[in-house]
Amino acid sequence: MSEEEAKTPRVFLARHGETEWAKSGRFTGVSEIPLNAFGEEQVAGTAKILVGPNKLLDPAKLGCVFISPRIRAQSTFELLFDETEKDRLRTEGKVKTTEKLAEWGYGIYEGLKDTEIRALRKERGLDKEKSWDIWRDGCEEGETAQEVTARLDSLIDEIYAIQSPNMRSESPSDVVLVAHGHLLRAFAKRWLRYPMNFPLSMMLPPGSVGILSYHEHDINQPAFFLGMGFLPSKAE
């Protein structure tokens, strides 16, 4: 990462750690499933390496942390930052819980596995011509791709308002989103201005962090980091 890249505002995508439902492949939307012990270790390990003063995700450079209201996301936020950092961020009004980051509403698919959803849809006479694709078809009695798009676009507008005056980090303007697997991948598509059904395969394991930013310090050129390098420490 060059000096110039380091000065461009970033959006960090922090997926919550593992839960028992995530471990078994169950679609988890509104259900309040807590992190399991391994999930807590995942987030703590990520925090140790990536989060802190002069690290990749430096709390002093944050303009806002947006968090899903689900308990697994709230717990992930608590584990990512130390108590002093959390107190300062809250005192400065930079911690916001928002339904815009709630996981995709799975409707009647809540708690089911992918194979079970496909079997259910077959029983209901669906998908005769094409197999189910959540990015195109959404979820029965849950959210459509258009509904998820609308709330994410609204959140992106909020982020632009924070970052557009600070495209060379004139003020702390990095943003962290603490949320869920499907939702954060959906966010990445909308950040890059792709429709939900755009065939962009992405991986974001539990407890991991992805990074979005801008090309050439330009609010009109949203981008993502394909790879990261790290600046040498000041001592070197």
Question: What is the DSSP annotation of 117-136?
Answer: HHHHHHHTT--SSS---HHH
Q: Is 98 annotated as a binding residue?
A: no
Give me the half-sphere count of Cα atoms (radius 13 Å) on the Cβ side of residue 108. 9
15: annotated binding-site residue? Answer: no
5 assigned ligand-binding residue = no
5 is a catalytic site residue = no
105 belongs to an annotated ligand binding site = yes
Residue 115 marked as a ligand binder: no
**198 is written with which tokens?**
């755009």
123: annotated binding-site residue? no
Catalytic residue among 85, 103, 110, 143: 103
Binding site annotation covers 142? no
Ramachandran bin of 131, using left for φ above 0, alpha for ψ from -120 to 50, beta for the remaining angles: beta
Distance CA 230, CA 90 (A): 29
**Residue 66 corresponds to which tokens in the numbers above?**
């947006």
Dihedral sign (CA 84, 86, 78, 48): negative
Is residue 18 flagged as an active site residue? no
Q: Which of 16, 18, 40, 180 is catalytic?
A: 16
Binding residue numbers for substrate: 28-29, 72, 103-106
Query: Active-site residue numbers?
Result: 16, 103
Binding residue numbers: 28-29, 72, 103-106
